[in-house]
Amino acid sequence: MTERVRGRRGLLPRARVVTALAVAAASWMAGPGLAAEAVLGTWASPPDRKGQTGYVVIRNCGAAYCGRLERAFSPQGDPITTRAVGKMLLRDMQPVNAGEYQGQVYVPLIDKVVDAEVLVEGDQLSVRGCAGIICNSQVWTRVE
């Protein structure tokens, strides 16, 4: 059998397609990693049933992300100490898509850790936790 040798003209379009696919694949694979940086920082929680708010700092924790309640504030905005300050609220948050994470959240009100989903959209962080069929969500706002 004889092989036909293709000229440069036949390979150029194929090379462009391969390059485009490689760039698309690299962008897709880098997506969660790049978006993961958006979750890092300090987030303000909305007022709880007592009107208290808090600052949660989200950091890298090994291969995942975690968030600790660093500060709490009274309804008047004064710093306060609560039993939840210093607790790890977000645990083992793993990226599942760009800006989306799954893991667990500690809920001080019921003193339980439940499954959670987190969605980052700009300076807003939606946190949704479910204990069985009962779910609750909050929207946190970026501070830093």
Regarding pTM above 0.85, the answer is no
Give per-residue pLDDT as tens, 15-33: 333 333 333 333 333 344 4
Task: Give the pLDDT score at 95.
Answer: 95
Mean pLDDT taken over the chain:
82
Residues 107-131: what's their mean pLDDT?
A: 95
Domains and CATH numbers, the chain: 38-142 (2.40.128.520)
Give per-residue pLDDT as tens, 81-117: 999 999 999 999 999 999 999 999 999 989 999 999 9
At 29, phi and psi to the nearest 5? -70, -35
Query: To the nearest 5 percent, what fractions of the chain are helix, strand and coil?
Result: 20, 50, 30
Signed CA dihedral, 136, 83, 81, 116: sign only: negative
Task: Give the pLDDT score at 31.
Answer: 42
Q: Are 116 and 105 in contact (CB under 8 A)?
A: yes
